[in-house]
A = this chain, B = another copy of it.
Amino acid sequence: MCHLFVGNMMSGILDLQNNLAPLVADFAGLRGVDAVKVDAACGSGGAALRSGLMAVASGELESALVVGVEKMTDRHPHEVTAALATAADADYEVEMGVSFVGLTALIMRRYMHEYGWKHADFAPFALNAHANAVHNPFARLHHKITVEDFEKSAMIATPINLLDASPIGDGAAALYIVPAESVRGGTRILVAGSAAATDTIAIHSRADALFLTAAYKSAQEAYKQAGVGPKDIDVFELHDAFTIMSALSLEACGFAERGQGIRLGLDGDILPGGRIPVTTRGGLKARGHPVGATGVYQIVEVVQQLRGECGQTQVLEARIGMAQNIGGSGATIVTHILKKD
């Protein structure tokens, strides 16, 4: 029998529907199945997959359906901003009046100060995401942008402007997972690594605000499980909720030295034909970031790459892909590595 894992963050706050799993099960034609909601803020989709994987691996379930979903547009944007802030520390960050984008802005400003980058240096992450989204029918934003657009876009929380940030939206994605040995025919995509780690929820409690320790830990564990390293990854769907997060994720996962993730963008290494292609289907920036769905979208997109279904943004001969889903400003990070069999 199929069991259901639903990744979602804000249904209780924004939709007043907390007990989401039985509802999704019912409307997906699975009324009555074992179903549960997994919540790791913006990392909920990746966390739901991880819970489903362990459940199937336990032999308890024959298969699992992993659904990521978020409905964010029924409420006024200021309510959505408040809801998103519940991913941060309620007592010592949000209570002081900082929104989630405000917190990330502090990280970005510090990074620019520490390593000497200017705002335009972050543009390649946004430009690449938008350029790739044009070729993804499931992406939310289908227009390219230029460095000039990037620099002229509206300021949200200095130094983060509109084109540094992923948009609010509704969305859902799903994965069906089964034991590898039960798959007959077709291209098998194996989960070779699955790991998660946490950090303090408040940024000020971390030894280093510019290093995603949980990304480092979960990536290292996933590499170990898969028997690979950063040089073996053909495509990396990272969590570009804001451009700064792309840089930090690339650094923590071993693709760049600290403070130098920006360079991968400037040098074109992140393009579909580059050394470490990222956000090949548009990423959070342009495919969209319906929070609980994001981590599941990322896996779907890695699978599409490994199956060679990505057309103009196809990474040639992609055999090993990675996805990293971040909850909060780095408090929960889930990393998966998939391999084409």
Contact = CB atoms under 8 A, between A and B. Distances in A.
A199 interface: yes
A90 B54 contact: no
Contacts of A201: 19, 22-23, 26
- A-B residue pairs, 7 tightest by C-beta: A18-B86, A57-B58, A22-B198, A19-B41, A17-B90, A22-B331, A58-B58
Interface in A17-52: 17-23, 25-26, 31-41, 47, 50-51
A309 interface: no
Nearest to A51: B51
B86 A197 contact: no
Given A35-B332, A55-B51, A16 B94 contact: yes
Contacts of A15: 90
A60 B51 contact: no
A328 interface: yes
Given A19-B88, A34-B197, 5 more contacts: A21-B198, A22-B199, A23-B331, A36-B40, A58-B58
Contacts of A163: none
20 contacts: A10-B12, A16-B82, A18-B39, A18-B86, A19-B39, A19-B40, A19-B88, A22-B201, A22-B332, A32-B198, A33-B197, A33-B198, A34-B196, A34-B197, A34-B218, A35-B196, A36-B47, A51-B54, A54-B55, A55-B55
A87 interface: yes
Q: Which of A15, A26, A205 has the most CB of B within 10 A?
A: A26
A217 interface: yes
Contacts of A282: none
Contact of A86 (B17, B34, B195): B17
A38 B38 contact: yes
A94 B35 CA distance: 22
Contact of A57 (B37, B59, B83, B89): B59
A338 interface: no
Q: From DSSP, what is the main secondary structure of chain A's interface residues?
A: mixed
Tally of this chain's copies? 2
Interface of A: 9-10, 12-13, 15-23, 25-26, 31-41, 47, 50-51, 53-55, 57-61, 82-83, 85-91, 94, 194-201, 205, 213-214, 217-218, 327-328, 331-332
Contact of A37 (B39, B91, B94): B39
Contacts of A328: 19, 22
A10 to B, nearest CB: 7
Contact of A200 (B31, B37, B195): B31
Contact of A54 (B16, B37, B60, B199): B60
Contact of A55 (B26, B58, B88, B327): B58
